[in-house]
Structure 1
Amino acid sequence: MVDQNEQEFLNSLEKKLWTSANKLLPALDAAQYKHVMLGLIFLKYVSDAFDLRREELAKQIADPQHENYLDPDGMDEAEYQAEIANELEVRDFYLETNTFWVPPVARWQFLRDHNKVVIGGAELEVLVNGKAQKVKVSSVGHLIDNALEAIELDNTKLKGVLNKRYTQLQIDQAKLGELIDLISTIPFTHDSLSSKDILGHVYEYFLGQFALAEGKKGGQFYTPKAIVSLIVQMLEPYKGRVYDPAMGSGGFFVQSEQFIREHQGRIGEISIYGQEYNHTTWQLAAMNMAIRGIEFNFGKEPANTYTNDQHPDLRADFVMANPPFNMKEWDTGVDDNDPRWVYGKPPSGNANFAWLQHMLYHLAPNGSMGLLLANGSMSSNTSGEGEIRKALIDNDLIECMVALPGQLFTNTQIPACIWFLTKNKGARTAASGRALRDRKQQVLFIDARNLGYMKDRVLRDFTAEDLKKICDVYHAWQTGIDYQDQKGFCASARLEDMQKQDYVLTPGRYVGAEEVEEDGEAFAEKMTRLTAQLKTQFEESARLEGEIKKNLAGLGYEF
């Protein structure tokens, strides 16, 4: 968790960048602007990471105690400096620390030095392995596209990931150059935050701002951070395979990494698998992972999860997703007898139970999953959905249901809930190390509709205390340590309880109404006090009525 000093630094930085960038690119809509800004932030990050590794290598080369030491013996100063320059361009030195190799034309300093020169076109000279090469550049957009192309060519894992469309932008090239200068001002020196932390924060902040700006479309690539954090903190993905079949820009993976770091775990102990249909969103997610140094497998290409599953053999330990709510006509090209529909074929008019069963299909025997769905999924009986829900309950797959407050999403006002499922509710040790009790034929219901606060006129958010309250209850219930039902908030129900409710899973049916605490005032005393108040109010009412009649009479009106 960031401390107050770090948060103030980050808040100041994001405000400065967002305000300045908006002034520079007023002609672009949010969908275009998103890729312009995030692509440049990515370039800045990989270049800075490269420069940091370069500085580290320079110190090693000068250190006689280090294995990379370059002995100057037998060379004059000019030869020695030339040899050092060559050593600093050895690609393997960067790859061995998982640092992206950044060719000369893609280094940030090169962009910064030449973004004014190339307006109108210019021929630039760069040194590659000590040899001069000429590069023809027709505009600032061309300068940036060249940089992205060069990085892709030299880093196979980024092939097809970067959005090389700056040349096509219909904007003032000078403004694009100013944007490079603006991003150059991002400070990467802080007492306790690394450059990766700072750039990762800036990237995530801009994703959230663009989601707000794009409204409904923004929700296709961005899930509010508080909801992602809630699911991650409840599932606790310490190690294993983490999968999101509707990953958007990769928010669940980022929060998983942050969770692991905050709990002294090792990010190398998880494997990331994702899938996304939208090509540009798939690119955003890949850049999001690359900025943080997270290894990932997003399949060979962007693809439809139902008709072109990129991970057909995957059995994940943790599955997390925020798929599109109530998606229609999802099953074009999908076999009615698809092996994923174990608990019933989902209706064509609504993909909610298709997403849920797809995730179950890819869940390992001891795995856990959490997904956001519209509230209708908890009670709908149309088109066979009730039968699918009944089958899920009877097969003891549901572990917890969480009802969420409204106005959490930028893109929809549809009320939402979180489903938590597992294939093994028996006693076992979780990846977190928690000793889970036998929870067979039991489901925890949490009604969180009254939690959160309005952070502006239209959007609600959770506080850290809200998240902790929900997570603590869930983990206490799982372990059997200090768990108690709380009227109006949480309740543990058995199979027969759900059968009595006709297999409806709305938490409000199980947690009941919140108990109102008595104020301790005796009934007789309370009635005397309230009667006196009422008498005073009647007297005041009579006085005001007399004043009104008097004023009307003065105007010549009889009442």
Structure 2
Amino acid sequence: MPPSSAQVTAAEISRIAGVTRATVSNWRRRYEDFPDPSGGTESSPLYDLEAVRAWLASRGHASAATPSEELRTALRLRAQSGGGTPEGLLLLVLAAAGRSAQELTAATRSPDAELAARAQRDAASASGAVPAAEAVRFQADDAAVLRALYTCVRDEGGQAALGVLAERELEDSAASGTYRTPAPLADLLVRLVPGSPARVLDPACGSGTLLAAAARRGARELYGQDALDVQARRSAVSLMLTAPDAAVTVRAADSLRADAFPGLAVDAVLCNPPYGVRDWGHDELAYDPRWAYGVPARAESELAWVQHALAHLAPGGHAVLLLPPATAGRASGRRVRAELVRSGALRAVVALPVGASAPLHIGLQVWVLRRPEPGGPERRSVLFVDTAADPATAAGRGGTAVTARTRGGSRSASLDWERITARALDAWRAFTESPDTFEGEPGVARAVGVVDLLDDVVDLTPARLVRASRAEVDPAELSAEVDAARRDLVRASKALARTAGDESWSAAGATAREWRTATASDLARGGALTLLRTQPDSARTRARTADCGSGGGAGTAARAVLTSSDIATGSGPTGDPVGPYDDTAPVVAVGDVLVRAVASADGPMVRVAGGDDAGALLGHHVHLFRPDPARLDAWFLAGFLGAEENIAGASTGSTILTVSPGRLRVPLLPLEEQRRYGEAFRHVHELRAQARRATRLAEDTARLLAGGLTGGQLLPSREGAETGGRGGDPPGRARPDTGTTLVGPSRQADRLGPPADGGVGTSRKESGDPVEHR
């Protein structure tokens, strides 16, 4: 057979035929007429695409690949044959999106030469809209890609085709470090701009997410610039598809070194600039007129972007930038920060929880700036908001905080964006309405005077400045909050003691009991249980949910997702339905047994779904075991599936241990005996849950006590001082639960000197009597 220019792997054959790779391997063994490899290696063979398609057709297997997957395969095959990916395809997407379905169908049925000529005319008609676009040249050899592109635009829309093209071009250009700004974060940044700005600029526009968010809120002139040609072209086409009524202008160049819009003054600048770039042009731009607030240091590229944004604002216009937290406190940026504060240009700094956007391991900050107006009012304070200080913002619907995870493990934080947005916007709107009378919210939002900020470091970190406002908490309110927390802790401690004291088991005797077991796979084959797992995030599942947005189908968009982290922390379903969730996605039911797919000592491995879990979508890295209640007790199953030795025996890997669900073993016992074990395992679960609750309440109570003592709202009493310094048990008159008496001082108390008797921390009112809150 002569060498073919179109060769596919076994994985691609499986996608074309809509089967698993194991099925393709089975075909190779069972059918002698299956096409022989035409290239590749013995371990990774390649097959002639046309021969494979002919074989599939002879067996009645029509192509099951989605249009976007067909386009992805066509692009790879064209690159494999040395054709490359013409940038004119981006222009063709834009032109094709304006054609009717009938016109696109007619194009796909044209002969190769006629199709190439038609596509060349279509692309040329849109050439003026895309930056850095070269002359378009299509040939008959491009017919497969052109047909796939027209079909993809017709069936899935221009954005789907654009995503495939940009994905390929970003790979070819080796452009790393390019991330999309999450949609809820982009919406927050736009909403921090007061009013409805008509002209908006993003000098590091990437894929155009921020400008698209601005268009949705009424912007009619969109200006973008990006250093990567592929990003600029993608942004231009995407914005024209998203906002067809807006005037879109996008340029490809480095905004700091080669500003494409000199002299442009807009109503708002939105930007998520690159972080930590040392080679940003410090030397050649030393005398640039944009540095009105001071020349940024070499390590302060972010402050160069801040001043670039301010330089493009009309007087009174606002700029909102997403920046790393180091920008707020690095010593090298102190002078520029001081001038931004002194001039009134900096209006607010909002701290976001960890995981809000890439890089996911740090908590980013949103800076809101306003270009001062000549003769405008004096700005005497800056707003600071710490949304990360609120545990509920980094938690899901269950109210338990979720730890941020790394991208590599697909364990990014699940955030309550509705709460984050409300916290930030409520504080910002109240501050803009009356900056001088803004009261803020202790521990969350505070307006700090300019004079107080202009110290030796000019540290603008919200967490530090918001914490300083604890002194404004009313002592009586904090004391009442501490008492309520202590009562909850006492109740939780008593519940834990009762649970721990309940003996629901007995010794087995002289020897341990031995089991006759079966694997979960055996039980599934016998119908005793069903094994389910969410399908991986493949190209096909991404395409299938493209028409329904990032949240999947209408039936999944409103559902929460039960994640592996939820099982570990004991929280309710906290995940968002992003990724390959459609109407066929597994849904959790009461009595399902859920097992984390990655073994670790971080929390429980297993959970029995209750009423709060019912209806949630099954998260990635979670295995679902659905037992037949007539044959298996759910709690019995969960107890043995989660046993340490069972998990260890069914796990593979070195650094990351992946649980193979079918290898987990379960004892074969009568149902009545299973139920006895199930009750014992349910008791163990309750013990673990009560211990977690008591630990959390103890931490909360200790945090409130420590914060009140250091903030001056709570003072130790004489009883606490007397009993705290003695060894042994405290006297009976001390509080049995804390050993101290908490004293809430008056506003004047923290200005008084030490007590007359030399004791520590017993403040008195003017009458001389301590004020005790019991």
The correspondence for 2:204, drawn from 228, 246, 254, is: 246
Displacement of 1:243 in angstroms is 1.8
The correspondence for 1:468, drawn from 422, 434, 437, is: 422
The answer to whether the aligner puts 1:537 opposite 2:500 as a matched pair is yes
Q: 1-side partners of 2:280 and 2:464: how far apart? A: 31
Q: 1-side partners of 2:258 and 2:381: how far apart? A: 35
Residue 248 of structure 1 aligns to which amino acid in structure 2?
Answer: G
Q: Give yes or no for contact 1:399–1:444 (8 Å, CA) kept in 2.
A: yes
The correspondence for 1:319, drawn from 246, 259, 269, is: 269
Q: Any idea what SS the aligned residue of 1:509 has?
A: helix
Displacement of 1:493 in angstroms is 1.4
Query: CA distance change for structure 1 residues 442 and 108 in 2, over 3 Å: closer, same or farther?
Result: same
Displacement of 1:399 in angstroms is 0.5
The correspondence for 2:369, drawn from 418, 421, 439, is: 421
The answer to whether the aligner puts 1:111 opposite 2:111 as a matched pair is no
Q: Any idea what SS the aligned residue of 2:268 has?
A: strand
Residue 308 of structure 1 aligns to which amino acid in structure 2?
Answer: A
Query: CA distance change for structure 1 residues 315 and 39 in 2, over 3 Å: closer, same or farther?
Result: closer
The answer to whether the aligner puts 1:404 opposite 2:362 as a matched pair is no
Residue 470 of structure 1 aligns to which amino acid in structure 2?
Answer: A
Displacement of 1:504 in angstroms is 0.7
Displacement of 1:389 in angstroms is 1.2
Q: Any idea what SS the aligned residue of 1:353 has?
A: helix
Q: Give yes or no for contact 1:249–1:285 (8 Å, CA) kept in 2.
A: yes
Map 1:140-155 → 2, pairs under 5 A: 144-152=119-127
Q: 1-side partners of 2:212 and 2:507: how far apart? A: 67
Work out the number of aligned pairs and report it. Answer: 420
Find the counterpart in structure 2 of residue 85 from structure 1. none
Q: Give yes or no for contact 1:211–1:221 (8 Å, CA) kept in 2.
A: no
Displacement of 1:272 in angstroms is 2.9
Displacement of 1:297 in angstroms is 3.4
Find the counterpart in structure 1 of residue 716 from structure 2. none
Find the counterpart in structure 1 of residue 452 from structure 2. 497
Find the counterpart in structure 2 of residue 355 from structure 1. 305
Find the counterpart in structure 1 of residue 379 from structure 2. 440
Displacement of 1:303 in angstroms is 2.2
CA offsets per residue over residues 152-200 of structure 1, 9 Å max, x none? 3xxx45574479477699xx953652443243224xxxxxxxxxxx75x
* TM-score normalised according to structure 1 size: 0.62
Larger Rg: 2
Q: Give yes or no for contact 1:148–1:162 (8 Å, CA) kept in 2.
A: no
Displacement of 1:38 in angstroms is 5.4
Q: Give yes or no for contact 1:404–1:447 (8 Å, CA) kept in 2.
A: yes
* TM-score normalised according to structure 2 size: 0.46
Find the counterpart in structure 1 of residue 652 from structure 2. none
Query: CA distance change for structure 1 residues 538 and 238 in 2, over 3 Å: closer, same or farther?
Result: same
The correspondence for 2:186, drawn from 208, 218, 228, is: 228
Q: Give yes or no for contact 1:372–1:417 (8 Å, CA) kept in 2.
A: yes
Residue 364 of structure 2 aligns to which amino acid in structure 1?
Answer: A
Q: Any idea what SS the aligned residue of 1:399 has?
A: strand
The answer to whether the aligner puts 1:47 opposite 2:99 as a matched pair is yes
Residue 500 of structure 2 aligns to which amino acid in structure 1?
Answer: Q
Residue 191 of structure 2 aligns to which amino acid in structure 1?
Answer: Q
Query: CA distance change for structure 1 residues 274 and 215 in 2, over 3 Å: closer, same or farther?
Result: closer
Structure 2 spans left out of the alignment, 5+ residues:
1-64, 397-401, 513-774
The answer to whether the aligner puts 1:331 opposite 2:288 as a matched pair is no
Q: Give yes or no for contact 1:149–1:164 (8 Å, CA) kept in 2.
A: yes
Q: 1-side partners of 2:449 and 2:166: how far apart? A: 40
Q: Give yes or no for contact 2:354–2:363 (8 Å, CA) kept in 1.
A: yes
Q: 1-side partners of 2:360 and 2:88: how far apart? A: 26
Q: 2-side partners of 1:386 and 1:549: how far apart? A: 72
Structure 1 spans left out of the alignment, 5+ residues:
1-14, 52-106, 125-136, 187-197, 261-266, 429-437, 553-559
Q: 2-side partners of 1:525 and 1:341: how far apart? A: 55
Q: 2-side partners of 1:415 and 1:165: how far apart? A: 47
Residue 408 of structure 1 aligns to which amino acid in structure 2?
Answer: A
Percent identity over the alignment is 21
Map 1:113-152 → 2, pairs under 5 A: 113-114=109-110, 117-118=111-112, 122=113, 124=114, 144-152=119-127
Residue 276 of structure 2 aligns to which amino acid in structure 1?
Answer: N
Map 1:20-39 → 2, pairs under 5 A: 39=91
Q: Give yes or no for contact 1:401–1:419 (8 Å, CA) kept in 2.
A: yes
Q: Give yes or no for contact 2:132–2:229 (8 Å, CA) kept in 1.
A: no
The answer to whether the aligner puts 1:184 opposite 2:154 as a matched pair is yes
Q: 2-side partners of 1:47 and 1:461: how far apart? A: 40
Q: Any idea what SS the aligned residue of 2:273 has?
A: coil
Q: 1-side partners of 2:428 and 2:375: how far apart? A: 15
Task: Name the structure, 1 or 2, with higher relative contact order (CA <8 Å, separation 6+).
Answer: 1
Map 1:156-305 → 2, pairs under 5 A: 156-157=128-129, 160-161=132-133, 164=136, 174=144, 176-186=146-156, 217=175, 220=178, 222-236=180-194, 238-260=196-218, 267=219, 270-291=220-241, 292-293=243-244, 294-298=246-250, 302-305=252-255
* RMSD of aligned residue pairs (Cα, Å): 4.6
Q: Any idea what SS the aligned residue of 2:237 has?
A: helix
Greater per-residue helix proportion: 1
Q: Any idea what SS the aligned residue of 1:47 has?
A: coil
Displacement of 1:21 in angstroms is 5.0
Q: Any idea what SS the aligned residue of 2:493 has?
A: helix
Q: Any idea what SS the aligned residue of 2:249 has?
A: coil
Residue 461 of structure 2 aligns to which amino acid in structure 1?
Answer: T
Q: 2-side partners of 1:33 and 1:447: how far apart? A: 46
Query: CA distance change for structure 1 residues 466 and 221 in 2, over 3 Å: closer, same or farther?
Result: closer
Find the counterpart in structure 1 of residue 465 from structure 2. 510
The correspondence for 2:256, drawn from 280, 293, 306, is: 306
Q: Any idea what SS the aligned residue of 2:430 has?
A: helix
Query: CA distance change for structure 1 residues 448 and 525 in 2, over 3 Å: closer, same or farther?
Result: closer
Find the counterpart in structure 1 of residue 337 from structure 2. 389
Displacement of 1:333 in angstroms is 6.1
Residue 342 of structure 2 aligns to which amino acid in structure 1?
Answer: D
Displacement of 1:212 in angstroms is 11
Query: CA distance change for structure 1 residues 297 and 184 in 2, over 3 Å: closer, same or farther?
Result: closer
Displacement of 1:369 in angstroms is 0.7
Query: CA distance change for structure 1 residues 334 and 549 in 2, over 3 Å: closer, same or farther?
Result: farther
Residue 338 of structure 2 aligns to which amino acid in structure 1?
Answer: K
Q: Give yes or no for contact 2:200–2:267 (8 Å, CA) kept in 1.
A: yes
Displacement of 1:360 in angstroms is 1.7
Query: CA distance change for structure 1 residues 297 and 495 in 2, over 3 Å: closer, same or farther?
Result: same
Find the counterpart in structure 2 of residue 87 from structure 1. none
Q: 2-side partners of 1:33 and 1:371: how far apart? A: 34
